[in-house]
């Protein structure tokens, strides 16, 4: 599947975006700009969205606490009712304050780091699927997508290193694949996807940008447009797929 310049869409769309980081904010802005009938709900933990819009609602969420997803579900029901898209952008690669960094070698492996990275990169997607997909509008084609990473592909791993991050994204990919199978039995109009956004100019990638090839460091807006181009083109027949930012299929 290839992507092209995004056109304006008029179809009403109700989107839940988990996470108000660089990609989450950009996704909301692009959706609201290019879909005049869209309403976005974006969640945040510490920092609310960096912009305001009459069709944007922000809701507090600690995505590591399952009970907060139950509260979020109730809040969504009272705000927009049923929904069409769920996009999870929450994830972690490094955190200087917590001593989390990608391990280049086995000697750097740390159990606490592994556990925290695994929790941050897997649990929000599982909780969202468990508690929020029941809000999907059954008569419409719905999408459940999560930001993964190409380094989570087991088949594509040729460089090694980044043990905890690779393992967490591989685990996330397995969860997404398994969720896709279950939801296909419940609602054949649902498409479940893993998305590799490429390297985005954000806090997550900042320490590693010097190694990015020229032209492959994307602004958050460009990343958002590329991912949304994919979301507008997939159908339920594509459920259980892992897409790169350019529309290419990636191996699990």
Domain count along the chain = 1
Tell me if 167 is assigned to some domain.
yes
Which residue is it, tokens 């944007």? 56
**Is 205:199 a contact under the CB 8 Å cutoff?**
yes
Q: How far are the Cα atoms of 93, 204, 240 from residue 167, in angstroms, in the given order?
A: 12, 17, 19
pTM score, whole prediction: 0.91
Residue 159 backbone phi and psi in degrees, to 5 = -110, -20
**Is 82:137 a contact under the CB 8 Å cutoff?**
yes
Tell me the CATH number at 37. Answer: 3.40.50.720
Q: What pLDDT score was predicted for residue 76?
A: 97
Tell me if 251 is assigned to some domain.
no
Q: What is the DSSP letter of 46?
A: S
Q: What pLDDT score was predicted for residue 5?
A: 44
CA angle 159, 206, 170 (to 5 degrees): 40
Tell me if 7 is assigned to some domain.
no
Dihedral-angle region of residue 161 (phi above 0 means left; psi in -120 to 50 means alpha; beta otherwise): left
Tell me if 252 is assigned to some domain.
no
Tell me if 194 is assigned to some domain.
yes
Two tokens at 38? 């869209």
Tell me if 228 is assigned to some domain.
yes
Tell me if 186 is assigned to some domain.
yes
List strand residue ranges (DSSP E) for the chain, in order: 13-18, 38-44, 56-60, 85-88, 142-147, 190-196, 199-200, 217-218, 241-244
Q: What pLDDT score was predicted for residue 139?
A: 81
Could you read off the pLDDT of 85-132 as tens digits, one per residue? 999 999 999 898 888 999 999 999 999 999 999 999 999 999 999 999
Tell me if 1 is assigned to some domain.
no
Q: What is the mean pLDDT of each run of 10 residues along the chain (252 residues)?
A: 50 92 96 95 92 96 98 97 97 89 94 96 98 91 97 94 97 98 94 94 60 74 97 97 98 95
* DSSP output for 28-45: HHHHHHHBTTEEEEEEES
* Residues with Cβ within 8 Å of residue 217, at least 6 apart in sequence: 199, 200, 201, 205, 209
- Measured distance between the N- and C-terminal CA atoms of the chain, rounded to whole angstroms: 17
Q: Which domain, by its residues, includes 193?
A: 13-244
Residue 165 backbone phi and psi in degrees, to 5 = -65, -45
């Amino acid at each position: 599947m290839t992507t092209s310049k995004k056109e304006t869409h008029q179809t009403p769309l109700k989107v839940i975006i988990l996470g108000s980081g660089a990609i989450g904010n950009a996704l909301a802005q692009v959706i609201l700009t290019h879909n005049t009938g869209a309403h976005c709900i974006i969640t945040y933990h510490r920092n609310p969205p960096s912009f305001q819009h009459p069709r944007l609602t922000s809701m507090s969420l600690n995505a590591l606490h399952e009970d907060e997803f139950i509260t979020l579900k109730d809040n969504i029901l009272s705000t927009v009712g049923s929904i069409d898209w769920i996009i999870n952008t929450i994830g972690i690669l490094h955190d200087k304050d917590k001593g989390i960094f990608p391990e280049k070698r086995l000697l750097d492996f740390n159990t606490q780091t592994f556990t925290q990275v695994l929790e941050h990169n897997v649990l929000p997607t599982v909780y969202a699927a468990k508690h929020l997909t029941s809000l999907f509008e059954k008569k419409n084609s719905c999408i459940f997508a999560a930001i993964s990473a190409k380094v989570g592909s087991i088949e594509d791993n040729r460089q090694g290193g980044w043990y905890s991050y690779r393992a967490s994204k591989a685990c996330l990919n397995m969860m997404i694949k398994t969720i896709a199978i279950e939801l296909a039995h419940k609602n054949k109009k649902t498409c479940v996807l893993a998305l590799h956004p490429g390297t985005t100019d954000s806090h997550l990638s900042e320490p590693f940008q010097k190694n990015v090839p020229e032209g492959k460091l994307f602004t958050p807006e460009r990343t958002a447009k590329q991912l949304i181009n994919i979301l507008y083109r997939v159908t339920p027949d594509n459920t259980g797929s892992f897409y790169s930012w350019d529309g290419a299929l990636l191996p699990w």
